[in-house]
Amino acid sequence: MPKKNRQKFSSILKNNLFILGKVAKFTPDYFVWMVVEGLVWGMINSASAIFSFNLLNAVSNGSDFAYALKIIAIMATFYLLAYAFDKWYWLIRNPLMRQKLHLKMHAELFSKAQTLDLACFDDPEFYNDFVWAMNESDKRAIDVMEDTGKLINRIVASSSLFGLLLTVDPIIALMLFVSSGITVICNLIGNKVSFRHNKESNPLWRKKNYINRVYHLSDYSKELRISRADELLMKEYDQNNQKIIELDVKYGKKYYLFYGLGWNAMSTLTFFAVLLYMVLQLGNGTLAVGGFAATVNVVWSIRWMFANLIERITNYPKHSLYIEKYREFLRFTPEIKDGIKEIPPFESLEFKNVSFSYEFASHPKYKFHDDDYKSPTNVEKGKDVLKNISFKLTSGEKIAIVGYNGAGKTTLIKLMMRLYDPTDGEILYNGVNINEYDPVCYRKMIGTVFQDYKIFATSVAMNVMNGKYDETTDYGTVIDALEKADFTEKLKTLKDGIDTHLTREFNDEGTNLSGGESQKIAIARVFANEYPIIIMDEPSSALDPMAEYNLNQSILKYTNDKTVVFISHRLSTTRIADKIYMFSDGRLIEEGSHAELLEADGKYAEMFRLQSEKYEDCKAI
């Protein structure tokens, strides 16, 4: 059952006013200029119609040339001034104000994004809306501004022209007024139809775009060549295009009904009716030729202006839908509540009966979906990723979290860092629940090398110091950290040393590091900052066996007094830990030192044997 997609008038008004309010707040000058520009052009448009009305009258009434000259001179002066203003405004003033608005709206969204739970990034629906808000909201704001400016302009101009017509002949004014009313209604209905059409064809366009992407993204290029996937995609494409066409035909008929039969026929009919009416008046002498021509001119102008006015007005409901989405995004409040407690030096971190599930998929916290949206049927998302986990980590300890893929290792880390809050149970830092601390301060206690670490477009030093690098920072700290991360060799080749700009995003001279080198920078981060707790989330995944070996040695060497958590499914990396926690299917199934666990001959022992058995052969040699 398709639901009605009707917006209340009040919400259309509210949403559009909301965005205008935003503009007025961020760039008051833009707002003022928009109104001024609309008024100025409204007056210019009506003035020039009134001037030509007078001129035509003057010509046919046989007034003297001086009078006609005066009208033309005034028109010329008007244009000279008006276009000077116009060009200045649109080419110099307006671009600057727009850009300012663009930046301010983005900064607001970014600050908002920064407060969001990480969980939001995993919820595809939320995430789409976020990216959407990022890309679209300022464009919408600008559209609403421009439309409003034009609207002011058209209202001023068309009401003064109507006024003029009323003084000439009220009957003509009435005929035009009625017909304009009807065209407005036809248009509004036509717009609704077009909205439904878009909605119905949207999934088809998504599919079409997807197929297009498969053909042009290099990710798919190999598969496309080595298989016959090509034939499959072409078939899908043809079927999809056929569906698009079917919708075109279905809605085309409706468009014809409202735009063709409704709007076009109505306005043509009115125009000729007015014309015939005036020709008849010419015949009985109540209207002079000049007056006739002048009136026809005004009728033309009104017809054109009205069409334009309607177009502008019908944009507002469209804007409103988008703005609603944007507002919804801004209203969204993060789940992770800020604590206020100061954070004491690290003694222990304890998990107490912690369970966790990625629940957002089953009950979206964030709602703005199309009416057709159904929440994903993927049951996996609702299930517990971690079940009843309890363990304690004390200062200086080196532990390893091991287990197969999907055992919940990475989720555990995200909980530990308070990027998510547990669904059940609690995490205690020095015996106090971590949600009582300020999350920003709490996170500063933990240095993490993520599996999917990122390098930012800034200097090496800034990257190593996590964005906190200025004159007061000790140069040696950075150098030392890079040395520990085995980056010194590469550093020598960099022209500007630790001030070298990384990536080419900002700077064409920037340095692009290889995957392995980038990882070393990410690792240097944990050495440079005095983190009491260090987490290595499978840091060796991008490394070949030799490099992996070196890294393990270096981590052991430099993290003497610190608390370290290793995460891996390669048991060769983790046997060095004081204590090993083996996870399986979201549960903590075994714990103990490497030797103890081998002794116990459980799952860990089995896994270790499997991984090492292929190497046994070489003992014989």
Partner 1 sequence: MKKKEKKKLGFKRTAANNLFALKAIWEGSPSYLIVYLGSSVIYAVLGFLSETYLLRKVVNGVQSGEDIGSLVTYVAFIGITCIVVYQALQWFWNVMSPPKQRKIAANIEKMLFRQAAKVELACYETPSFYDKYVRAMDEAYDRTIKVMRSFDMLIDRFISLFANSLLLFVIDPWLIVFGLFPLLLGFFKRMENIATHDHQAAVKPINRRADYVKRTFYLGEYAKEMRIGGMYSEMLSALGDTFADYKALVKKYGIKKAILGYVQKIGLEVVTVLGATLYAVWSTMCIGPEAGGMQVGDCIVVLSSIGTISYCLNNLVQNFAEFGEHALFLEDVRYFLDYTPAILDGDKAMPSYGGDLEVKNLCFKYEGSETYTLKNITFTLHKGERIALVGSNGSGKTTLVKLLLRLYDPSSGEIELNGENIKNYHVGGYRQSFSTVFQDFKMLSLSVRENVLLRPLTNGDEQLVENALRESGIYDKLSGLENGLDSILTREFDDEGVNLSIGEQQKLSLARVFADSTPFVILDEPSSALDPIAEYKMFENMMKATEGRSVIFISHRLSSAVLADRVILMDNGTIAEIGTHNELLHKNGKYAAMFRRQAENYLGNEVTANA
Separation of first and last alpha carbons in the chain: 73
Minimum CB separation from partner 1 for residue 203, in Å? 6
Phi, psi of 535 (to 5 degrees): -115, 130
Of 17 and 232, which CB lies nearer to partner 1 in the complex structure?
A: 232
Of 259 and 581, which CB lies nearer to partner 1 in the complex structure?
A: 259
Of 35 and 245, which CB lies nearer to partner 1 in the complex structure?
A: 245
Neighbours of 271 (CB within 10 A): 17
Reported as half-sphere exposure (CB side, CA atoms, 13 A), residue 162 has a value of 16
Minimum CB separation from partner 1 for residue 209, in Å? 8
Of 17 and 103, which CB lies nearer to partner 1 in the complex structure?
A: 103
Minimum CB separation from partner 1 for residue 389, in Å? 20
The kind and range of the H/E element at 42 are: helix 28-61
DSSP class of 497: G
Minimum CB separation from partner 1 for residue 317, in Å? 21
Neighbours of 227 (CB within 10 A): 10
Of 5 and 541, which CB lies nearer to partner 1 in the complex structure?
A: 541
Of 316 and 326, which CB lies nearer to partner 1 in the complex structure?
A: 326
The kind and range of the H/E element at 505 are: none
Minimum CB separation from partner 1 for residue 449, in Å? 10
One-letter amino acid of 235 = K
Of 83 and 475, which CB lies nearer to partner 1 in the complex structure?
A: 83
Complete DSSP assignment for 449-490:
E-TT----SSBHHHHHTTT--STTS-HHHHHHHHHHTT-HHH
Beta bridge partners of 534: 447, 564
Minimum CB separation from partner 1 for residue 541, in Å? 8
The kind and range of the H/E element at 279 are: helix 265-283
Beta strands 533-537 and 563-568 are parallel
Question: Alpha carbon 468 to chain centroid distance?
Answer: 27
Minimum CB separation from partner 1 for residue 359, in Å? 16
Minimum CB separation from partner 1 for residue 385, in Å? 12
Beta strands 384-394 and 348-357 are antiparallel
Distance, CA of 139 to CA of 110 (rounded, Å):
16
Phi, psi of 231 (to 5 degrees): -65, -40
DSSP class of 432: E
Of 9 and 88, which CB lies nearer to partner 1 in the complex structure?
A: 88
Minimum CB separation from partner 1 for residue 328, in Å? 17
Minimum CB separation from partner 1 for residue 13, in Å? 30
Distance, CA of 221 to CA of 117 (rounded, Å):
35
Of 357 and 573, which CB lies nearer to partner 1 in the complex structure?
A: 573
Beta strands 579-584 and 398-403 are parallel
Minimum CB separation from partner 1 for residue 189, in Å? 14
Of 10 and 111, which CB lies nearer to partner 1 in the complex structure?
A: 111
Of 60 and 355, which CB lies nearer to partner 1 in the complex structure?
A: 60
Distance, CA of 269 to CA of 183 (rounded, Å):
12
Minimum CB separation from partner 1 for residue 325, in Å? 15
Complete DSSP assignment for 320-378:
HHHHHHHHHHHH---SS----BPPPPP-EEEEEEEEEE-GGGTS-SS----TT------
Question: Structure tokens of 324?
Answer: 């609603």
Of 571 and 588, which CB lies nearer to partner 1 in the complex structure?
A: 571
Minimum CB separation from partner 1 for residue 455, in Å? 9
Of 13 and 69, which CB lies nearer to partner 1 in the complex structure?
A: 69
Of 173 and 449, which CB lies nearer to partner 1 in the complex structure?
A: 449
Distance, CA of 194 to CA of 143 (rounded, Å):
19
CB 592 within 8 A of CB 573: no
Structure-token match 């106090």, residue found: 432
CB 135 within 8 A of CB 20: no
Phi, psi of 537 (to 5 degrees): -90, 95
Minimum CB separation from partner 1 for residue 612, in Å? 3
CB 45 within 8 A of CB 79: no
Of 192 and 444, which CB lies nearer to partner 1 in the complex structure?
A: 444
**What's the CA angle centered on 498, arms 495 and 499, to 5 degrees?**
75
Phi, psi of 117 (to 5 degrees): -65, 150
Of 36 and 214, which CB lies nearer to partner 1 in the complex structure?
A: 214
Neighbours of 71 (CB within 10 A): 18
Complete DSSP assignment for 54-94:
HHHHHHHHT--HHHHHHHHHHHHHHHHHHHHHHHHIIIIIH
Minimum CB separation from partner 1 for residue 353, in Å? 26
One-letter amino acid of 317 = P
Minimum CB separation from partner 1 for residue 569, in Å? 5
